[in-house]
A and B are shown apart, each in its own frame.
Chain A
Amino acid sequence: MARPRPTGPILEARDLTLRFGEVTAFQDVAFAVMPGELFAVIGPNGAGKTSLFNVLSRVYTPTSGQIALDGRDLTALRPRDLAGAGVARTFQNLGLFGPLSVLDNVLVGRHHLMRAGALRAGFGLRSARAEEREHTAAAMAALERTGMADVAGVAVENLAYGDRKRVEIARALAMHPRLLLLDEPVAGMSADERVEITELVRALHADGDLTILLVEHDMGMVMRVAQRILVLDFGRPIAVGSPAEIQADEAVIRAYLGAAPEAATA
C-alpha cells in the first residue's frame, strides 16, 4: 500500500488488437484509466468486451498493441504475477472454490501476501500460525465490507448466487489491489441482486482509492456507477465519455438499438 502513486494513468491501452486466426475479436482499442477512477467497458453481445477483459487479465496475449500498468508492460507479466502487481479480478461466472468455506476462499486471495510453505504450515510453527491469524483478520475485514462476514464458515457452494458474487468481490478486496477488474459483475443475476451488487460496487469505489475497471452488458448498472465509459461495437471502439455523453451519442444509440429502420429488432 506504500507504493508511490504515479500521476499518469494506472492502466493505458494503445492500438490494442486481438485476432484468433481470421477472426478479429477487437482492434485499435485505446483508453487510459486514471488512478481512483471507475471506468467501464460496454457493448452489445459479441462486441469484444470479454476478449478485452481477458487480455487485461492476462488470459490472452494481444496480437498487437501495448498495455501499460503504471507505465510498465503488462504483457510481460504472467497471470499469477498480477496479484503481486496490485491487480485483482473477478470472473463472469464466479472463480470461487465451491467446497471451501467463505473465509478460506477469501484467504486464497491473501496467498501472495503470505509466506508459509508446506513445512512451516504442516508443523504448525508459531510464525505460520501468527501469519494465519493476521491474514484471517484481514480476510474478515474484507468480508465485512461486502456484508458476508457472518457466513464466513459456510461452504461457498451453499450460498445464493448474489452472495457468492459478494464473496468473490471480498476476495478481490482482500488482495489489496490498486486496480480491480470486474468481469460482468451482475451477469445472470435477478433484478434485486443487480441493484445490490451495483450499490456494493459504488460503495466500495466511494470508500477509498481503489481504481475499478468493469466490463458489463447491463447498461443500467454501468450508467449508475461508471465515471467514464468506453463503448465497443463489433470489436471497434465507437465512443468514450461520461455516462451523460454516452447516452447522447448517436453511434452508441445506433449500436444498441440498431439503425433507425430496424429499431424494432432490438
Chain B
Amino acid sequence: MAALARLPVRPGVLAAIVVALVLPFGADSAQLSTCVFIVIAAIGAVGLNVLTGYTGQISLGHAFFLAIGAYTAAVLGGDHGISALIWIPASGLTAAACGLLVGPTALRLRGLYLAIVTLGLLFIGQHLFFNLDGITGGPQGRAFPAVQLGSFDFSPGQQLTIGGAVIDHDGLYYYLALIILLASLLFVRNLVASRPGRAMQAVRERELAGAVLGVDVARTKLMAFGVSSFFAGVSGALFVSYLSFAQPSQWDLLLSIQYLAAITVGGIGTLYGPVLGSIVVFAIPDLAKSLPFISDDGTGLSPGNFSSILYGVLIIIFFVVEPRGVAGLGPRLSAWLRRPGAATTPMGRVAVQSIDQEEAGSR
C-alpha cells in the first residue's frame, strides 16, 4: 500500500493535470482570472484540509493566516524589494509561526469551542490590520508587490513567449500558482500516508486511543496548525500579489467560511477534495454575475449575497447527502453503475466498499 502511494498519479488525476496545463490557451481573460483565483485559493484549501479534514480541528481563523502571509509579502517584497523566491516561502513560514503561537491556546479546546476561539482570532486580526497602518495601510488598504523573479516580473502587461506560445500576466500567475498547488498536493499526499499523517487521523478519530499508542496529541495538533497555516500564508501572499491591492476588511469571516465550504463541498479529509471544492466555491461569485436575476446595481440580489447564500446551501446539502463531497461522487457513481440500486445505502458506505479499499491503498 505504501508502495502504491509512491506510484505516479492515477489516470484521472493525470488527465486533470493535463487539462489544467492547457487551460490558459482556451480561456478568455476573465475566465483565466477566475481560474487564477481558484488555483491560489486551492492552495489555502489544501492547507485547511490538513487541519480540519485530516486532524479534525475546526478553524474559522483561516482568513487570519491568509492575511499574515499577505502582509509578509507586502513587507518583504513591497517595502524591501526582496525576491519572490524569498517572500513566497517566507509568507508561509510567518503564517506557520503564527499558527504555532496560537496553537497552544487551541490545544485545550475542541469542536465548537475551538471554532469560537479561532473566530476570536479573526476579530483580533481585523483590529490589528485596521490599525497597523505602517504594514497594512490602515482601512484604505495598500498595494502589494507583483511576483518578481530576477529581472522578470509578473506585472500586468508583462508576457512570456515560449516557442510561439504567449503567456500573459494572468497566465504567469496561473502557472506559478499551479506549480505551487501541485507541490502542496504532493506534500500532503506524502504526509497523510506516513507517520505524522496517520497520527493526525488518529487524533481526529479517537484522541485517547491515539495517545495510548504513543501519539503526542498536542504536538500533532500543533503540527497540523503549522502546516495548515503555512499553506494559508503562501495562498494569501499569492492572492494579494495577483490582486495587487487589498484592504483589511477582506480578511473576514466570509473568507474563512469560503474555505470551510470549499473543503466540505470538495470532500473533507480527501486529498483532491479541497481542489474540487475550490473550483465550485471560488467560481461561484464570477459565475453568479452572469445570471439574469443577479445585479450589482442594488436592484436585485448582489453577486456577493447570492454567493453567501449558495455556500450555506451547498454546505448543508453536502453534509446531509454526501459527506465525502464532490470527491465522493465519483466512487458513488461508479458503484451505482456497477450495482444498480446500491447507491442508496446510507452514506454510500457499503456500496462503495471496494472503492474504499482502492482509495485506502492509493493513499
Contact = CB atoms under 8 A, between A and B. Distances in A.
B141 interface: no
Contacts of B201: 97, 99-100, 104
A133 B213 contact: no
A118 B217 contact: no
B303 interface: no
Interface string A24-65: 000000000000000000000000000000000101000000
Contacts of A116: 194-196
A115 B186 CA distance: 20
B124 to A, nearest CB: 26
Contacts of A131: 195
Given A101-B361, A153-B357, A118 B205 contact: no
Contact of A97 (B195, B196, B202): B202
Contacts of A132: 2, 194-195
Contacts of A123: 187, 190
Contacts of B206: 95-97
B215 interface: yes
Contact of B357 (A57, A124, A155): A155
Contact of B208 (A95, A96, A154): A95
Contacts of B356: 154-155, 158
A121 B360 contact: no
A179 interface: no
B202 to A, nearest CB: 5
A111 B198 contact: yes
Interface residues of A, number: 47
Interface string A233-258: 00000000000000000000000000
B205 A117 contact: no
A89 B206 CA distance: 14
B349 A157 contact: yes
Contacts, number: 132
A173 interface: no
A153 B360 contact: yes
A256 B242 CA distance: 75
Nearest to B209: A95
A112 interface: yes
Interface in B150-198: 186-188, 190-191, 194-198
B2 A122 contact: no
Contacts of A79: 208, 211-212
A82 B226 CA distance: 27
B208 A99 contact: no
Contacts of A129: 6
A185 interface: no
Given A101-B360, A114-B195, A155-B357, A121 B213 contact: no
B198 A80 contact: no
Interface of A: 57, 59, 79-84, 89, 91, 95-101, 103-104, 107-109, 111-112, 114-118, 121-124, 128-129, 131-133, 136, 152-155, 157-158, 171, 175
11 contacts: A89-B212, A95-B212, A96-B206, A98-B205, A104-B201, A108-B202, A115-B195, A118-B223, A122-B227, A132-B195, A171-B213
Interface of B: 1-2, 6, 186-188, 190-191, 194-199, 201-202, 205-206, 208-217, 223, 226-227, 269, 349-350, 353, 356-357, 360-361, 363
